[in-house]
Amino acid sequence: MKLSHTPEEEKFASEVRAWLDEALPEDKRHTYSALEHSDKEVMLWWSQKLAEKGWLVRHWPTEYGGTGWTLAQHHLFNKELQSAGAPSTSGFGTVMVGPVIYTFGNEEQKKRFLPGIQNGTELWCQGYSEPGSGSDLASLKTRAVREGDHYVVNGQKIWTTQAHWADRIFCLVRTNTEVKAQEGISFLLIDMDTPGIEVRPIVSIDGLHHLNEVYFTDVKVPVENLIGEENKGWTYAKFLLGNERTATANASATRQRLERLKVMAKSKTSFSDPMIEDASFAKRLAETETKLTALEITEARSIDADDASFDAVKLSLPLKYLGTNLQQEIAEMCVELVGYAGLPREFEDAAPRSTNEPSLFEKAPGLMESHLFGRAATIYGGTSEVQKNIMAKMVLQL
């Protein structure tokens, strides 16, 4: 296991910093929100900027436009992105469906679907969950029936993040009802403008619209859009979930948020002394930092482990579980710390202000929304309870 970086790696990080200084104007950097709520236009602009540099699908194999970087370089790159406050990009194409397409798709599908992901011009969404089929995903009921050279899809997906922005959806559908649940699922790629698709918004606890219900009524999908073999979709779905879970831990983003929390804890406000002077708050902060350091070491171990090894798979489970719990702890402490100033945006103007210490309040808008929406981190991509079940069976052999 390696905890320090080589001079070459340090040089790489400084080159990335220099590029970010130039490519990312101040007004596009985020400074306050604990979990960023992306804006579609900014997301597309930044994706395309990274793509022009060859850094959007950086983790893909080089034959599909990847950088060929070492894992340490990927780690450093992510850290620099976080430090710079770079806007987020959508992982539905780059992290999730892209690797499924180049691993299991045919040549025609690669030609048709990969370029829009590689150049950051097309957005995807994930049609997995249904009412009643979340943790028990294999029970999904959305039906696809083959009729000639089309499938006809009927059913409903739910919690579909960014479906209202997406150009396409990757969808798990039931193609056989006669066999064991996992053996009758197929993986379809569907254009969102196909007749019969209806997207209805779900406004989440932060008062914002990220999520949707997606209804399919007699939606005709060409058979060419089937990934791999019919009824083998569960294999591709699990492959995708592995990538999704590893990406959710994101220790470098959490480090960035903790560093910001420390700055805020040292600020004096008009109604209190710096919170760092409060012994119980300081103790919580120290405990949180210790846990984060342990997470970073675990991440470094997983970076050092051979990709396909049992260690890499084993470590991805606590990484998702501990990583998302830490994200929530830090967001909660931010909200406690800023008091009034963390109230939702419409209350911003009512927050007490003092000309002497504007910095704390300038950082505050959006923190409450982020804290509330951040509760979802231990749910999406597989709940904490489900991660613990898998750890118990797979790692502890219970």
Ligand X SMILES: Cc1cc2nc3c(=O)[nH]c(=O)nc-3n(C[C@H](O)[C@H](O)[C@H](O)COP(=O)(O)OP(=O)(O)OC[C@H]3O[C@@H](n4cnc5c(N)ncnc54)[C@H](O)[C@@H]3O)c2cc1C
Q: Which residues are catalytic?
A: 244
Question: How far is C-alpha 89 from the chain's CA centre?
Answer: 9
Element of type H or E holding 214: strand 209-222
On whether the CB atoms of residues 302 and 316 are closer than 8 A, the answer is yes
**Closer to ligand X by Cβ: residue 275 or 319:** 319
In the bound complex, what is the minimum distance in angstroms from residue 17's beta carbon to ligand X? 32
Instruction: Give the residue carrying structure tokens 């089309």.
Output: 150
Task: For residues 278 and 46, give the distance between their C-alpha atoms in angstroms, rounded to a whole number.
Answer: 40
C-alpha distances out from residue 122 to 45, 73, 327, 381, Å: 12, 26, 29, 22
- The residues that touch ligand X, with contacts defined as CB under 6 A, are 125-129, 134-135, 159-161, 211, 376, 379-380, 383, 385-386, 389
Give how far Cα 138 sits from Cα of 95, 185, 186, 298, Å: 22, 8, 11, 30
Give the nearer residue to ligand X in terms of CB position, either 37 or 301: 37
Least distance from ligand X to the Cβ atom of residue 164, Å: 12
Q: Which two tokens stand for residue 130?
A: 């249904």
Shortest Cβ distance from residue 374 to ligand X (Å)?
A: 9
Whose Cβ is closer to ligand X: residue 35's or residue 275's? 35
Residue placing its CB nearer to ligand X in the complex, 317 or 376: 376
Q: Shortest gap between Cβ of 102 and ligand X (angstroms)?
A: 21
| Residue 157 in tokens | 């997906």
Report DSSP state, residue 356: T
Least separation, in Å, of the C-beta of 212 and ligand X? Answer: 9
Number of neighbouring beta carbons within 10 Å of residue 135:
12
Are 254 and 323 spatial neighbours (Cβ–Cβ below 8 Å)? Answer: yes
| Closer Cβ to ligand X, 211 or 330, answer by number | 211
